Structure 1
Amino acid sequence: MAYLSCAIGRGVYLPIGNTWHHPRLFCLHIGRSGRGRKGDAVQLVLRIDQALRDLDDGLAPQVHRGGLSSREGLVALMHDGYQQGKLDIPAIDDKRLWVIESEFANVLHQGRREGNTLSAALRDCWDGVSLKPATKTNRMYASHPHVCLSGAISPSELTGMLTARELTNGFANRFLMVWAERSQILPFPKPTPQTVVDTLTRRLLEILRFAEADQPDRRDHLRMELSAQAQWRYAQLYRTALNEDQGSEIVNSMLERRAPMLLRLAMLFALTDLQTRIDVHHIDAAMAWMHFATASVRYVFVSATDEARLAQALELSARVLTFLRERGQATRSQINSECFRGKVSKQMIDASLETLLASTPPKIAVQTVDRKDGLPGAPLRIYGLAKA
Structure 2
Amino acid sequence: MNEQPAPTDGGHATRPVPDAATGLDRDDHQDDVAPPHRNAPQPDPTCLYGLIGDVARAGSEGTETNAHAIAANFMAYLSCAVGRGVYLPIGNTWHHARLFCLHIGRSGRGRKGDAVSLVLRIDAALRAIDDAFAPQVHRGGLSTREGLAALIHDGYRQGRLDVPAMEDKRLWVVESEFANVLHQGRRDGNTLSAALRDCWDGVDLKPATKSNRLYASDPHVCLSGAISPGELTGLMSARELTNGFANRFLMIWAERSRMLPFPKETPQALVEHLARRTLEVLIFVSADRHDDREHLRMELSPQAQWRYAQFYRGELHDGMDDGAIGALLERRAPMLLRLAMLMALTDLQTRIDVPHIDAAMAWIRHATASVRFVFVSAAEEAKLVQVLELSNRVLAFLRERGQATRSQISTECFKGKVPKARIDASLEQLLASTPPKINVQTVERPVDSPGTPTRVYRPT
TM range (shorter): over 0.9
Distance 1:376 1:193 in 2: 83
- On the 8 A contact 2:320/2:329 being kept in 1, the answer is no
Distance 1:27 1:240 in 2: 24
Does 2:267 correspond to 1:193? yes
Q: Figure out how many residues of one structure are paired with residues of the other and give that number.
A: 386
- The one-letter amino acid of 1:365's match is N
- The one-letter amino acid of 1:222's match is L
- The one-letter amino acid of 1:337's match is T
Q: Which residue is 1:123 aligned to?
A: 197
The CA deviation at 1:98 is 0.1
Does 2:441 correspond to 1:367? yes
The CA deviation at 1:195 is 2.9
Report matched runs for 1:202-221 at 5 Å: 202-221=276-295
- The one-letter amino acid of 1:90's match is P
- TM-score in terms of structure 1 length: 0.97
Q: Which residue is 1:143 aligned to?
A: 217
Report matched runs for 1:98-109 at 5 Å: 98-109=172-183
Does 2:338 correspond to 1:264? yes
The CA deviation at 1:198 is 2.0
- On the 8 A contact 1:247/1:314 being kept in 2, the answer is no
- On the 8 A contact 2:121/2:271 being kept in 1, the answer is yes
Q: Which residue is 1:233 aligned to?
A: 307
- On the 8 A contact 1:368/1:381 being kept in 2, the answer is yes
> RMSD of the TM alignment (CA)?
1.2
Distance 2:234 2:322 in 1: 18
- On the 8 A contact 2:242/2:324 being kept in 1, the answer is no
Match for residue 273 of structure 1 among 322, 328, 347:
347
- On the 8 A contact 1:245/1:360 being kept in 2, the answer is no
- On the 8 A contact 1:71/1:118 being kept in 2, the answer is yes
Q: Secondary structure at the match of 2:84?
A: coil
Distance 1:193 1:248 in 2: 49
- On the 8 A contact 2:135/2:170 being kept in 1, the answer is yes
Q: Which residue is 1:96 aligned to?
A: 170
Match for residue 177 of structure 1 among 246, 251, 255:
251
Q: Which residue is 2:361 aligned to?
A: 287
Q: Which residue is 2:407 aligned to?
A: 333
Q: Which residue is 1:132 aligned to?
A: 206
- The one-letter amino acid of 2:256's match is R
- On the 8 A contact 1:79/1:143 being kept in 2, the answer is yes
Distance 2:100 2:450 in 1: 58
Distance 1:299 1:71 in 2: 31
Distance 2:84 2:369 in 1: 30
Distance 1:329 1:182 in 2: 52
The CA deviation at 1:374 is 4.8
Distance 2:335 2:165 in 1: 30
Residue by residue, what CA displacement relative to the aligned partner does 1:23-78 show, whole Å, maximum 9, x if unpaired? 00000001111111111110010011011111111110000000000000000101
Does 2:130 correspond to 1:60? no
Does 2:128 correspond to 1:39? no
Q: Secondary structure at the match of 2:381?
A: helix
Q: Which residue is 1:351 aligned to?
A: 425
The CA deviation at 1:375 is 4.9
Distance 2:150 2:326 in 1: 35
Match for residue 124 of structure 2 among 50, 69, 84:
50
Q: Secondary structure at the match of 1:241?
A: coil
Q: Quick one: percent identity of the two aligned structures?
A: 76
Distance 1:184 1:92 in 2: 43
Distance 1:278 1:32 in 2: 36
The more displaced of 368-377 and 121-130 is 368-377
Structure 2 unaligned residues grouped into runs of 5+: 1-74
Distance 1:325 1:281 in 2: 33
Q: Which residue is 2:317 aligned to?
A: 243
Q: Residues 184 and 248 (structure 1 numbering): CA distance in 2 closer, same or farther, change over 3 Å?
A: farther
The CA deviation at 1:377 is 3.5
Q: Which residue is 2:84 aligned to?
A: 10
- On the 8 A contact 2:431/2:438 being kept in 1, the answer is yes
- On the 8 A contact 1:75/1:142 being kept in 2, the answer is yes
Q: Secondary structure at the match of 2:439?
A: strand
The CA deviation at 1:203 is 0.9
Q: Secondary structure at the match of 2:216?
A: coil
